[in-house]
Amino acid sequence: MTWHGHVIKGQSFAGKKMANEMNSNVTAHDSVQCPVCFKGFKAATINGHLDVCLLTSATDDSTPPLKKSRITGEVVPSSPTVNKGASSCSSMPGPPSSPVFSLFQTNKSKSSGQSERDGLFTSKQSASSAVNKGLKRGLLNESEPGAAGTENLSSQISAPSGKTSKTLRDLSPRTLLTMDKPLAEMLRPNTLEEYFGQSKVVGQQTLLRSLLDSQEIPSLILWGPPGCGKTTLAHIIASTSKKNGTARFVTLSATSASTNDVREVIKQAQNELRLCKRKTILFIDEIHRFNKSQQDTFLPHVECGTVTLIGATTENPSFQVNSALLSRCRVLVLEKLSVEAMGSILGRAVATLGIRVLGQGPANHKDQEQTNGHEPKIYIEQKALDTIAYLCDGDARAGLNSLQLAVQAQMSLTRPNTLVQDGSSQEILVKEEHAKEGLQRSHILYDKAGEEHYNCISALHKSMRGSHENASLYWLGRMLEGGEDPLYVARRLVRFASEDIGMADPSALPQAVSAFQACHFIGMPECEVILAQCVVYLARAPKSVEIYRAYDNVKACLRNHKGPLPPVPLHLRNAPTRLMKQLGYAKGYKYNPAFSGPVEQEYLPEELEGINFFTWTPSDP
């Protein structure tokens, strides 16, 4: 007997044992229900049927597995509407129903019981199991309605639930600010009312807002700069779906997930849709990190509606997301947060943490409680909040975390639970310089390999073309301070010297080449003034695109030519050998230095005689 046969044999024994218990409990009924197929049988034939039914179910993957409660280990049906027999079977008397049911699951997993004191049953799933179709809990964060358990404080704060704000209000500022969790994560909004700065996308009269209210969520690609609220919007959708129970929410990160992880989620989504009639929303953070083959995995399942895909990316989806997947999703462009939106976000954070703004009254009841307690009173200058709002460059994550650092730095200077001489608690004041320290420096958004790289170099080029020296210097500074390679900028200046200035100032090209060589010699930061000098020179120089357009006309002439290109005239060819001279190469060529005046001679092929590329346009015949 093979190992698999032993498993079946053990299951048959357990099934017989349960059938015997069921037969002992049945007094007024003539039939007994099979716990595997939920059909009714007589008490005398149930044992024989269990042997056949268990052997069949061990090789049949179509039977839906029974779900396990995360708290008590009690096996419950996947959905109350899937099979009526499941509910009747779960309601049958007998204390050993929970462990026996775990043996009847169709997943090929090893079950190991814990101590009788716990009464919990856990299963370690094999990696090759194709029935359970579940993911390792460490690989994804699944939010399901009804899922509960004992969680620590950090998990309660990070979970997208409506209890988050209540939990935060019950804690002191010192406790919140000393936790090992960024403030931006603890204060992540759970409702659209707390979601600031993206009114154009999720405002009251927008299409997406109506779709979210009706729970008709389409596949989305959220595109925006860091800290603008892409992940937060996905968590709000998850929170809404969890409350209404209309969909399950699964989170994956493209930085760590593999194609197998995605396929497992899709298999699980297919089961949920088939058995529970419940949709699956799959959130992929940093979706641009997936390559083409990984993105192609989503195509058929997004097309048929198995999963609703929500992808978040900081890169332009036109370049980083497959066009086939892009056509199946709606792209939402989230803008950089304005200073006013950042002010609202920081104000909400200050009110939640119980911090008073200097010169204003208590923001909430927590401030009043601090007056009579031993916790220090924390104040912050309005100028400090304004400084964070301006310097974080629309990045809410950077703004909140810098506020956290500034307050933590000042709280570390005071001893906890200490009183001043008059018996009142200590006071902590966070000033503007403390806020600047939290940011370290002005937070400049610039991605050397992303779209902002091309946006800034385009702005620099167009500013120099328009002879606006101030704007040219500004965009140069944005690039260099953001960490751009100075040689890249210098190469673009060399190109500009010929493309936009050309023969209007022939010395512009030597200036640009010299600037490139100087940057190569000394590097940053000394070369920044060299680039600034070259940029101002090119911006002030007269402009001419005569050379640029003439060469474009040449390229258009070559590309639009029909048939084979005309050969080089014989008199323009070299004749280094006797044979070539006999063939007529170089015959009739007039050597210009040998003549005292202009030489009448054709240098173009016969088909192009008389053409002037400086005035010719591709539309000419």
pTM for the full predicted model? 0.53
Q: What is the pLDDT of residues 284-299, one digit of tens each?
A: 988 988 888 888 888 8
Q: Domains of the chain (ranges plus CATH)?
A: 198-333 (3.40.50.300), 337-361+375-412+426-443 (1.10.8.60), 451-543 (1.20.272.10)
The torsion region of residue 41 among left (phi > 0), alpha (psi -120 to 50) and beta comes to beta
Which position has the higher pLDDT, 308 or 364?
Answer: 308
Instruction: Name, of 36-45, 231-240, 488-497, the range with top average pLDDT.
Output: 488-497
- Distance CA(395)–CA(236), nearest Å, equals 19
Q: Is the pLDDT of residue 226 over 80?
A: yes
* CB atoms closer than 10 angstroms to residue 56: 12
- Which of 7-21, 148-162, 341-355, 402-416 shows the lowest mean pLDDT across its residues? 148-162
How much is the pLDDT for 175? 67
Residue 277: pLDDT above 70?
A: yes
pLDDT at 247 over 60: yes
Q: What percentage of residues in the chain have a pLDDT greater than 70?
A: 68
* Rounded-to-integer distance, Cα 64 and Cα 279, Å: 17
What is residue 620's predicted lDDT score, i.e. its pLDDT?
55
In tens, the pLDDT along 339-350 reads: 898 989 998 888
Q: What is the mean pLDDT of residues 356-365?
A: 66
Instruction: Kindly tell me if the per-residue pLDDT of 495 is higher than 70.
Output: yes
* Arithmetic mean of pLDDT, 102-128: 39
CA geometry: angle at 13 spanning 10 and 18, to 5°?
Answer: 125
For residue range 363-420, what is the model confidence (pLDDT) as tens digits? 554 444 444 456 678 888 888 888 888 888 788 888 888 888 888 888 877 765 555 5
pLDDT at 361: 59
Does the pLDDT value for residue 512 go beyond 60?
Answer: yes
Give the N- to C-terminal CA distance of the chain in Å, as an integer: 88
Q: Between vectors from CA 201 to CA 198 and to CA 207, what angle results, nearest 5°? A: 150
Residue 6 has pLDDT above 50, yes or no: no
The strand pair at 220-223 and 330-333 is best described as parallel
Whether the pLDDT of residue 259 is over 80: the answer is: yes
Q: What is the pLDDT of residues 562-576, one digit of tens each?
A: 888 888 888 889 988
For the ranges 271-285, 325-339, 416-430, the lowest mean pLDDT is seen at 416-430
Asked if pLDDT for residue 112 goes beyond 70, the answer is no
d(CA 380, CA 356): 6
Give the DSSP letter string of 40-109: EEETTTHHHHHHHHHHHHHH-TTSPPPEE-TTT--EE-S-TTT-HHHHHHHTS--TTHHHHHHHT-SS--
Mean pLDDT of 541-549: 93
What is the full DSSP assignment across 419-458?
A: B-TTSPBPEEEE-HHHHHHHH-S------TTSHHHHHHHH
